[in-house]
Amino acid sequence: MDEQLTVAAPDAVFATAAFRDPDPLRARGRQLLRQRWGVDRAPIVVQAAEFHGWSPDRISAVVRSLKPLPVVNLPLGRYAGEDQVLKAVAQQEQVPVLTNLKAAEITDVLAAAGAVFTTSMHAAIVGTCVGTPVVVPKIAKTADALAACPEPPVVHLAADGDVAGIVADVYGERHQLPSRANATACQSAFSRTMEHVGL
């Protein structure tokens, strides 16, 4: 591919106006968690998928290690049975599982969380955009992708045995919001991409 036609950019969510003020998202997320699942404290949201190498036993071990902090399992969809695995783990570990959420509700929950543990790059990106601490398994994929940002958001890499300690350290912190530089980079990359394809 012609190097001049290659555009590297932050995820476009950084340019979304709704993420400039996460307070309304957090308020909706807190209300949703309280009304549907009786969760009053900001929970640790756990999302992990088998196709990323996370067996039910491995997910259970992480969920168990995070207690007594409030924990909820959040499937992002039904792709590859992720919802069934997280539902079974939630039942085994006696934590709520947040199912059948619309995309906006998932964003609200990530905003209201005390921390997010996820194997999903997209959940990590959204979590960082709403200022929630994000912990990911010790693989560099997500951090490497975020390095495309002029001001990369913070993600915490953790080996399985270190997840609980790192989550406890960052629980409830709020990180800086997406920077203007990141939003500008998204908009610029989108414009350049459209120019390359003649639009």
Indicate the average pLDDT of the chain: 86
Q: What is the reported pLDDT for 138?
A: 80
CB of 84 closer than 8 Å to CB of 102: no
Owner of token pair 């307070």: 23
Q: What is the reported pLDDT for 114?
A: 97
Domains of the chain in start order, with CATH, are: 3-194 (3.40.50.2000)
pLDDT per residue as tens digits for the range 43-90: 999 999 888 788 999 999 999 999 989 999 999 887 778 899 999 999
pLDDT per residue as tens digits for the range 148-177: 788 888 899 999 899 999 999 999 998 766
pLDDT per residue as tens digits for the range 87-121: 999 999 999 999 989 988 999 999 999 999 999 98
